[in-house]
């Protein structure tokens, strides 16, 4: 059973310069995502990050909103939050796969994103994962974004160069 397992968690990074995070949440299951937002806010605050929150209609719109913000606004990173519970149709597979793929592609383009979109079989699984006192997946997504921001800042300005060394 996963709840009995122990996992290693990286210590949270520290920052010399302010961090601005955008939480993008699809509140379809609002009680669940409210818990995830609460967990994300606590982790962000523990690193001194400023947080803004926007809501979008569903999990498929989360990566689109992040892409828009990446192009048009000034955020250091993003926390993608939502919950997709398996239903009776294959729509579940489409939403899970496409939202995850789009978030991954944005990350490969340089966006610092913590993916906290839950993909679960039932409501009870979602509740355990969303609970800030439980698995705290919202907090984990915020931590992931913060770690990526720290790496991005560490490597900013470093180039390997092209051609001959002087």
Per-residue pLDDT tens digits for 68-78? 999 999 999 99
Q: What is the pLDDT of residue 157?
A: 76
Q: What percent of the chain has pLDDT over 70?
A: 93
Q: Quick one: the chain helix, strand, coil %, rounded to 5?
A: 45, 15, 35
Dist CA 80 CA 127 (whole Å):
17
DSSP secondary structure of 29-68: THHHHHHHHHHHHHHHHHTT-EEEEEE-SSTTHHHHHHHH
Q: Is the separation of the CB atoms in 23 and 43 below 8 Å? A: no
Q: Is 88 annotated as a binding residue?
A: yes
147 counts as catalytic: no
Q: Is 12 annotated as a binding residue?
A: no
Dist CA 91 CA 50 (whole Å):
35
Q: Is 70 annotated as a binding residue?
A: no
Cα 50 → chain centroid: 15
Q: Is 84 annotated as a binding residue?
A: yes
Give me the CATH code for the 17-155 domain, please: 3.40.50.960
Contacts of residue 83, defined as CB under 8 A and 6 or more positions apart, other chains included, come to: 26, 28, 29, 32, 33, 36, 59, 117, 118, 120, 126, 130
Q: Is 69 annotated as a binding residue?
A: no
**Consecutive H or E run containing 136:** none
Q: Is 150 annotated as a binding residue?
A: no
- The domain limits of the chain are 17-155
Q: Map 88-120 to HEC letters.
A: CCCHHHHHHHHHHHHHHHHHHCCCCEEEEEEEE
Count the residues in the chain: 166
Dist CA 147 CA 23 (whole Å):
15
Kindly report the CA angle at 32 between 68 and 23, in degrees rounded to 5? Answer: 25
Please give the average per-residue pLDDT across 94-102, as a whole number: 97
pLDDT single digits (tens) 5-49: 788 999 999 999 999 999 999 999 999 999 999 999 999 999 999
pLDDT band at 165 (very low <50, low <70, confident <90, very high): low
Instruction: Give the active site residue among 30, 91, 123, 154.
Output: 91
């Amino acid at each position: 059973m996963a709840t009995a397992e122990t996992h290693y968690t990286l210590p949270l990074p520290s920052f010399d310069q302010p961090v601005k995070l955008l939480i993008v949440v699809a509140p379809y299951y609002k009680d669940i995502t409210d818990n995830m937002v609460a967990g994300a806010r606590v982790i962000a605050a523990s690193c001194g990050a400023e947080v803004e929150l926007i809501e979008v209609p569903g999990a498929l719109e989360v990566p689109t909103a992040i892409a828009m913000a990446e192009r048009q606004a000034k955020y250091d990173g993003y926390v993608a939050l939502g919950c997709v519970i398996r239903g009776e149709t294959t729509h579940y597979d489409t939403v899970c796969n496409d939202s995850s793929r789009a978030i991954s592609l944005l990350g490969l383009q340089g966006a610092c994103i913590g993916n906290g979109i839950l993909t679960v079989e039932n409501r009870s699984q979602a509740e355990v994962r969303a609970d800030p006192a439980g698995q705290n997946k919202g907090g984990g997504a915020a931590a992931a974004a913060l770690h990526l921001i720290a790496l991005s800042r560490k490597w900013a300005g470093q180039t390997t160069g092209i051609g001959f060394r002087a």
